[in-house]
Amino acid sequence: MPRQKSTIVRKMYGLRLEKTLMQEVQHLGVDLERNANDLIEEAMRELLKKYKKKGK
């Protein structure tokens, strides 16, 4: 089944991550049938929620 195009505007960023951390994310993506980018975006959103709650 073809993947639907997202209407979300994205900008490319260069990041340096630990090799083993990225490998774990990629393996998790395979297990969950999701791409690494989606998993990293999800993790970043959760991190922002966590710190927004602490600030209140």
pTM over 0.85: no
- Whether 13 is covered by a domain: the verdict is no
Helices 19-32, 36-55: axis angle to 10 degrees equals 110
- Whether 42 is covered by a domain: the verdict is yes
- Domains: count for the chain: 1
| pLDDT tens-digit series, residues 3-49 | 677 788 999 999 999 999 999 999 999 999 999 999 999 999 999 99
Range of the domain at 25: 19-55
Which structure tokens are listed for 7? 């209407």
| pLDDT on residue 2 | 64
- Whether 29 is covered by a domain: the verdict is yes
- Whether 38 is covered by a domain: the verdict is yes
